[in-house]
Amino acid sequence: MMKKKIPASLLLGSATAATQVEGGDVNVNWYDWSLKGKVGRGESSLTGADHYARFREDTEMMAELGHQCYRMGVEWSRIEPERGVWSPEGMAHYRSELELIRARGIVPMVTLHHFSCPRWFQEAGGWMSREAVGLFLRFCGKIVEELGDLVCDWCTINEPNVFANDSYMDGKYPPGHEGDMLSYFKVSRRMVIAHLRAYKLIHKIRREKNFPGETMVGYAQHLAFFVSPGKGLFCRLGKGLMERLFHKIYLKGMIEGKLIFPLGAGYPEGKGIFCDYLGVNYYSRHIITPTVSPARLFGTVGFDPDLPKEKLTDLGWEIYPEGLAGVITPLWEKYALPVYITENGLADSSDEKRAAFIRDHLAVVLRLMEEGVDIRRYYYWSLMDNLEWNDGYGPRFGLVEIDYDTMERRPRPSALYYRALCRERLL
Ligand code: IFM
């Protein structure tokens, strides 16, 4: 078969998040969560992949692997370990890391909130606190003032829907509330407002300081491709409710600035468009079975039990590349904003499925681009194995394998396959 050219406008790279790879931070809320035994098999966020100490080696490795863009997090607790106390060492660390990334010709994206926060923020009520938005914005402002000359691509908040659900409905993330629907909505509303204000703030600082390059601000929306098991009224209602509460309240809020029920009403920051790109985190297709239960907001979300093993990741998620088109197309038709695929990947410890997974998802990306969709970034999740939050270090998402006994990095065969795509630009 004739290979297709990967357009130069699409940068290929990878993503990580600070808490998942850095290790060694005793001021982050996930350290306390680990101490409470809430991370799989008693594991700890202290381990990470030792990336904080090894960022130089890791950046060289990423460059060797041909990546053109890299999405990384800055850990709030390393910058502001105590309320109002800023760490020059923390800031200097990220400056060195970003300088090295750029020196290797890799385009960085910085995520400002990726599921974690400083201990003091969590103890003050986290996102349930009235002060949350202001405190987060103060941190954002500090980062952009000090690192904004090195970064054009910004992601304000990663997956607010997953964060709110796992922290306040499923109880898997701190503070571990279960079935706390009111908090789910309250925190979601705060995150929408935080994004809208951060969007304006990042633009303002970069403009006033005359920082070079085009400022691109967005957030990463986890978009599941939802299907219903039937066409009946309850099935349609279940899917509609799920679409609204897991996707639409955030999309409307964070892109259009519009609060819709049950988050509220109106435009708290005025009418406008508050994203310069559509950030899409896509992993799988989910079947919505309508159920009514106070603990589960949305009914039961599951996978087809008859799927063969080849179609499943190590976490039992269905591999369904066509769902990427299913989630991107309606957004592109509605907003026509550049698309950044901020995450796409799988847990696959044997590495038997990863190369085909990337190939098949990128084939969908190229088809969409031929149809006119302006897709500019593809960040594979993840550069290396890491802490899969409450699931610990078991799931292996990395292009690069981490040996947790020695912290040795070993690029998997799929990393070499991806390197060839990045370099030869042919699929
Ligand atoms: O590891 C996570 C990441 O932090 C957010 N998106 C989904 C990934 C895989 O579960």
pLDDT-derived band of residue 231, with 50, 70 and 90 as boundaries?
confident
Find the 296 Cα to ligand 1 centroid distance in Å: 21
Instruction: Using most ligand atoms within 8 A of CB, pick from 222, 343, 344, 393 the residue to mutate for ligand 1.
Output: 343
Q: Which of 34-48, 121-135, 298-312 has the lowest mean pLDDT?
A: 298-312
- Rounded CA-CA distance 275/199 in Å is 7
Residue 290 has pLDDT above 80, yes or no: no
> 381: Cβ below 6 Å to ligand 1?
yes
Q: Could you report the per-residue pLDDT of 371-416, keeping only the tens digit for each? A: 999 999 999 999 999 999 999 999 999 999 999 999 999 999 999 9
Percentage of the chain lying above the pLDDT 90 cut? 92
Task: Give CA angle at 218 (276, 52), nearest 5°.
Answer: 135
For 51-65, 265-279, 284-298, which range has the lowest pLDDT when averaged over its residues? Answer: 284-298
Which residue's alpha carbon is nearest to atom 1 within ligand 1?
388
Question: What pLDDT was estimated at residue 237?
Answer: 86
Residue 196 CA to residue 264 CA, distance in Å, equals: 15
- Give mean pLDDT, residues 112-134: 98
Using N-to-C axis directions, what is the helix angle for 354-370 and 322-335, rounded to 10°?
A: 30
Q: How confident is the model at residue 102 (pLDDT cuts 50, 70, 90)?
A: very high
The pLDDT confidence band at residue 304, using thresholds 50, 70 and 90, is confident
pLDDT tier, 18 (very low <50, low <70, confident <90, very high otherwise): very high
Residue 294 has pLDDT above 60, yes or no: no
In the reported structure, the alpha carbon of residue 41 is separated from the centroid of ligand 1 by a whole-number distance in angstroms of: 19
**Cβ of 343 less than 6 Å from ligand 1:** yes
Helix, coil or strand: residue 129: coil
Average of pLDDT values for 211-223? 98
Q: Using alpha carbons only, give the angle 403, 406, 410 rounded to the nearest 5 degrees.
A: 40
Residue owning tokens 């350290």:
31
The mean pLDDT of 264-281, rounded to a whole number, is 98
Atom nearest to 222 CA in ligand 1: 6
Task: Identify which of 116, 381, 393, 399 to mutate to test ligand 1's pocket (most ligand atoms within 8 A of the CB).
Answer: 381
From 388, 391, 393, the mutation candidate for ligand 1 (largest count of ligand atoms within 8 A of CB) is 388
Q: For residue 82, give the 3-state DSSP assignment.
A: strand
In the chain, the N- to C-terminal Cα span, in Å, equals: 10
Distant-in-sequence, close-in-space partners of 37: CB < 8 Å, separation ≥ 6: none
To test the pocket of ligand 1, the residue of 162, 165, 317 to mutate (highest count of ligand atoms within 8 Å of its CB) is: 162
| Closest ligand 1 atom to 343 CA | 6
Q: Which residues pair with 180 in a beta bridge?
A: none
pLDDT per position as a tens digit, 314-358: 999 999 999 999 999 999 999 999 999 999 999 999 999 999 999
Write the CB contacts of 210 (distance below 8 Å, at least 6 apart in sequence): none
For the residues 274-299, what does the mean pLDDT come to? 82
Please report the atom of ligand 1 found closest to the CA of residue 281: 6
pLDDT of 179 strictly over 90:
yes
Q: 385: which residues sit within 8 A by CB, 6+ positions away?
A: 49, 393, 396, 397, 398, 400, 401, 402
Report residue 295's pLDDT band, with 50, 70 and 90 as the boundaries: low
Q: Are 340 and 9 in contact (CB under 8 A)?
A: no
Q: pLDDT value at position 298?
A: 55
Distance 282 CA to ligand 1 centre (A): 10
Minimum mean pLDDT among 154-158, 249-253, 305-309, 376-380: which range? 305-309
CB 319 within 8 A of CB 309: no
Neighbours of 270 (CB within 10 A): 10
Average pLDDT over residues 186-207: 98
Range 30-50 average pLDDT: 97
Contacts of 303 (CB under 8 A, 6+ apart): 284, 285, 286, 287, 312, 316, 317, 318
- pLDDT per residue over 158-171, tens digit each? 999 999 999 999 99
Q: Which two tokens stand for residue 148?
A: 């904004």
Whether the per-residue pLDDT at 236 is higher than 90: the answer is: no
Pairwise CA distance, residues 139 & 169, whole Å: 27
Query: Is the CB of residue 332 below 6 angstroms from any atom belonging to ligand 1?
Result: no
Decide: 281 in ligand 1 pocket, CB within 6 A: yes
| Contact partners, residue 143, CB within 8 Å, separation at least 6 | 74, 79, 110, 112
Mean pLDDT confidence for 269-277: 98
pLDDT tens sequence across 67-94? 999 999 999 999 999 999 999 999 999 9
DSSP state of 252: I
Ligand 1 in reach of 127 Cβ (< 6 A): no
Which residue's CA is the closest to the ligand 1 atom numbered 9? 388
By the 8 A CB rule, do 187 and 127 touch? yes
Instruction: Output the six-digit token pair for 194.
Output: 């935080």
Residue 305, exposed/middle/buried by CB under 10 A (0-12, 13-18, 19+)?
A: exposed
Strand, helix or coil at 379? Answer: strand
What pLDDT is stored for residue 220 in this prediction? Answer: 99
Higher pLDDT residue, 295 or 302?
302
Q: What is the spatial distance between Cα 315 and Cα 126, in angstroms, rounded to a whole number?
A: 29
